[in-house]
Amino acid sequence: MNLVHFSQFPNSKVDPFLVTSPHSPAYNCIAWAFGDNTKWYWPDPSTIYYWPNNVPREINIEAFIKLFEYIGYKVCENGEFEIGYRKIAIFVDPMGVPTHAARQIDNGLWTSKLGSNIDVQHSIKSMEDGEYGMVSIYMKRSNSKI
């Protein structure tokens, strides 16, 4: 078991990340939470990265909510594990700008892609108050849509 902590995520010192895959520049956290490990998702205005055509190409929480609504997620109250549902968490910086997304896994923990780096399993607490800020929105969908 490869437990690590990163200085960019101070809470990971007491609640370490579990490394679950090697470094890969092929995809990012948004793609990983979306369920795609083949491309980099980001709503950049210059259209360098992938973003679905029917989702506003804007870097704001509303566009990220619409991205996940596109595949059946709906905003929900919290990140508590619910049998029969898959959840995602959208993180924002102190200005409310989206920075990261994580996907809940079957054991109630979360999985994230750290930029072009590794994938990790973690708690929400270990990710918060660090480089990606705080969770702004939780969303869920039925597992039957996976």
Tell me how many domains the chain contains.
1
Share of the chain above pLDDT 90, in %: 89
CB contact at 8 A, 136 and 60: no
Where in the sequence is the domain holding 49, given as residue range(s)? 3-145
pTM equals: 0.94
Give the closest residue to 61 by CA, choosing from 7, 137, 141, 145. 137
Distance CA 140, CA 143 (A): 9
Distance CA 93, CA 64 (A): 14
34-70 pLDDT tens trace: 999 999 999 999 999 999 999 999 999 999 999 999 9
* Mean pLDDT within 13-23: 92
